[in-house]
Amino acid sequence: METEECYDPFQPNCPSRLILSRIGDRWTVLVILALRHEVLRFSELRTKIGSPAPKVLSQTLQALVRDGLVSRQAYAEVPPRVEYRLTDLGRTLLEPIDAVRRWAAVHTGDVLDARERADELVASGAGGADR
Let me know whether 33 and 83 are in one domain.
yes
pTM of the model: 0.83
Let me know whether 23 and 77 are in one domain.
yes
Let me know whether 13 and 73 are in one domain.
yes
Let me know whether 68 and 35 are in one domain.
yes
Give pLDDT, residue 80. Answer: 87
Tell me what percent of the chain is helix, strand and coil, each rounded to the nearest 5.
Answer: 55, 10, 35
User: What is the distance, to the nearest Å, from the Cα of residue 2 to the centroid of all Cα atoms in its chain?
Assistant: 23
Structural domain containing residue 49: 4-87
Phi-psi category of 27—alpha, beta or left, where left has phi over 0 and alpha has psi -120 to 50? alpha
CATH number at residue 66: 1.10.10.10
Task: Write phi, then psi, for 64 (nearest 5 degrees).
Answer: -65, -35
Let me know whether 82 and 101 are in one domain.
no
Question: What is 64-122 written as a DSSP string?
Answer: HHHTTSEEEEEE--SS-EEEEEE-HHHHTTHHHHHHHHHHHHHHHHHHHHHHHHHHHHH
Spell out the per-residue pLDDT of the chain, length 131, in tens. Answer: 556 668 888 998 999 998 999 999 999 999 999 999 999 999 999 999 998 999 999 999 999 999 999 999 999 988 889 999 999 999 999 999 999 999 999 999 999 999 999 999 999 987 665 64
Let me know whether 77 and 24 are in one domain.
yes
Let me know whether 59 and 9 are in one domain.
yes
State the total domains in the chain.
2
